[in-house]
Amino acid sequence: MFEIELKASIRREKLDDLRKRITELGGTRIGVFRQVDVYLNHPCRDFAKTDEALRIRDHNGKVELTYKGARVHEDCKCRVEKTIEVKTSINDMLEFLSYLGFSKVFEIVKNREIYSVNRKGYMINICLDDVLDLGFFVEVELFSAENAINESINVLKSVLRDLGLTGPYITKSYLEILLDKRGENESFNIV
């Protein structure tokens, strides 16, 4: 399966209006979560060059390990994504992976308010994100088969338009945005 996502930068003052619009679209509030994402680099290849990512996420105490493949579409962030839950702490997982040569690149902390909405048969997550050192964003995402990528992108764009967000949309990850902001996006070897 492919994760397909788009995001838009917003002002804090727009959050209440967005919540109302999400509800009008039939969105169901899932909850508010604190997420800590730790990105790692491979010991033998630079994920910045291969456009891959390995992430450990602490999602309110639940720890997940996620592999993200290289992007396959230029109009959105679209890539293979595989996540497994791990029954350990984020620090223990970091230590374990360090024995295999993986190194910590960066940490992203965000508060994420998640809604779910059904549009044209797709279950879409609408996330209102408050990202430390970056600000506020709306991220829409869904999972799709490879043969439905273009249709999925159009569905996500229609949801963003219905939320009053007409673009341009952001196709970079929060890690890339933060590294760009700091002028450090040449390589992931920046612990």
Which active-site residues does the annotation give? 39
Per-residue burial over 93-108, b if 16 or more Cβ lie within 10 Å, else e, is bbeebeeeebbbbbeb
> φ and ψ at 69, to 5 degrees?
-75, 180
Which tokens belong to 33? 């979560």
Residues in the chain: 191
